[in-house]
Amino acid sequence: MLRLETGDPGFAQAFDRIVRDRRESGDDVARDVTAILEDVRARGDETLAELTERFDGHRLASDEDWRISPEACRNAYDALRPELRDALELAAERIRSYHRAQLPENRDYLDETGVRLGAIWRPVEAAGLYIPGGRAAYPSSLLMNAIPAKVAGVERLVVCTPTPKGEVNPLVMAAAHIAGVGEIWRVGGAQAIGALAYGTDRISPVDVITGPGNAWVAEAKRQLYGVVGIDMVAGPSEILVIADGRNEPDWIAADLLSQAEHDPVSQSILITDDAAFADRVAAAVEAELAALPTAKVASESWAAHGVIIVVEQLEQAPALANALAAEHVELAVDEPDRLFASIRHAGSVFLGRYTPEAVGDYIAGPNHVLPTGRRARFASGLSVLDFMKRTSFIQLGDAALDAIGPAAVALAEAEGLPAHARSVAVRLGQ
């Protein structure tokens, strides 16, 4: 774990190294993914079967080996403990309610010249959702991806999820039932992204691909952007906690480790104005790790990428936060809105001492698929709009064309495009 103080002579250089650190895939991953995608495009299902057996130890032979049926998902839902079923249902309803409010409105109006203008929003026809499998199998991710697509009105949802050694996660199946997903394929990795984008004999192509995954999945989405739409290229998880000394150290330590346990290259950062509190949090992290079942991964992350920054005043924290543009930002202070007003770049912000980031991962309502790697400077979390597209429309009568057409002719001629000019001019009788 790295500790910095803003008053140190080398702080600016050390902080800049943290900002510029890229904890993402390298050229070797890009080369591997390119080869996999080319193979999927050329050989389709044959490649999927070979790679699924090689990487997941699962043989794709019968239809049951390839797909998880809606009936199996319903059975998994029915078999859940009541409290777990209720928790998933509550999460689904809160996610659905939040995302319904994101639905955009169509526009249709006449401007002052009599030109009819507007735009209509429509859902994409098919969306592919990638859901990790095995150890990192998260039913919450299925809900966070599938429900906005359903709210948008997408007719066909296709889930790809790996099933290592044939093991299917019952919580993911139950979440699929709750979300109303009927098409689930037991394939993963870059090859699954290729299948969703290009299509195979078994899997029809989709228009948009969303969902989290490892470095190979993220790289496949990056390479296929343009063939399909994607939500984002997601990297390792991040959390930035801005906290004063009046917090409970073990609360903040638990928050930092909530992201560290995702991946050895996840990053957890604390900014505080209290040096003694920083010491107590560092000690609390070690104590929490001693009892944490995911301590191996979390310890690697904290040791390699954990950071504690001591500032002279918390008012300095937003500038640092904006440079980091972190996926998750917690403001564990009495008046969080005061700092929040200065936070320009963040995937999602958690206000106050009783709002741990983990609440946002599961049950609050906003989407937990968020930009990482400083992409919060220009990108937003997954929303209903990722599953929709806007089509503008224009209608002119003769009077409206008389009003604005001559300007179009002038501009077309100035650009050296006479056919453009004539297509307007002939209607003006020129």
Question: Which residues lie below 8 Å from residue 4, measured CB to CB, with a gap of 6+?
Answer: 11, 14, 15, 307, 308, 309, 310
Bridge-based pairing state of the strands 107-110 and 116-123: antiparallel
Residue type (1 letter), 186 = R
- For the sheet with 208-210, list strands across it: 67-68, 183-185, 156-160, 126-130, 208-210, 229-230
Q: Reduce the DSSP state of residue 228 to 3 states and report it.
A: strand
Task: List the catalytic residue out of 219, 238, 261, 327.
Answer: 327
User: Measured between alpha carbons, how far is 101 from 116 in angstroms, rounded to an integer?
Assistant: 27
**Residue 81: is it exposed, middle or buried by C-beta count within 10 angstroms (0-12/13-18/19+)?**
exposed
Question: Which residues lie below 8 Å from residue 411, measured CB to CB, with a gap of 6+?
Answer: none
| Beta-carbon-side half-sphere exposure of residue 311 (alpha carbons within 13 Å) | 19
User: Measured between alpha carbons, how far is 80 from 330 in angstroms, rounded to an integer?
Assistant: 33
User: Measured between alpha carbons, how far is 245 from 262 in angstroms, rounded to an integer?
Assistant: 27
Question: In whole angstroms, how far apart are CA 283 and each of 1, 238, 257, 289?
Answer: 12, 21, 13, 10
Of 302, 116, 330, 325, the residue nearest 244 (C-alpha): 330
Catalytic-residue membership of 328: yes
| Beta-carbon-side half-sphere exposure of residue 345 (alpha carbons within 13 Å) | 18
Q: Do residues 184 and 102 lie in contact, with contact meaning Cβ atoms separated by under 8 Å? A: no
Residue type (1 letter), 62 = S
Catalytic-residue membership of 99: no
Task: List the catalytic residue out of 262, 328, 345, 368.
Answer: 328
Could you please report the per-residue DSSP string of 113-178?
A: TS-EEEEEEEE-SEEEEE---GGG--HHHHHHHHHHHHHHT-SEEEEE---GGG---HHHHHHHHH
Q: Do residues 346 and 329 lie in contact, with contact meaning Cβ atoms separated by under 8 Å? A: yes
Q: Do residues 130 and 213 lie in contact, with contact meaning Cβ atoms separated by under 8 Å? A: yes
Q: Give the residue numbers marked as catalytic.
A: 327-328
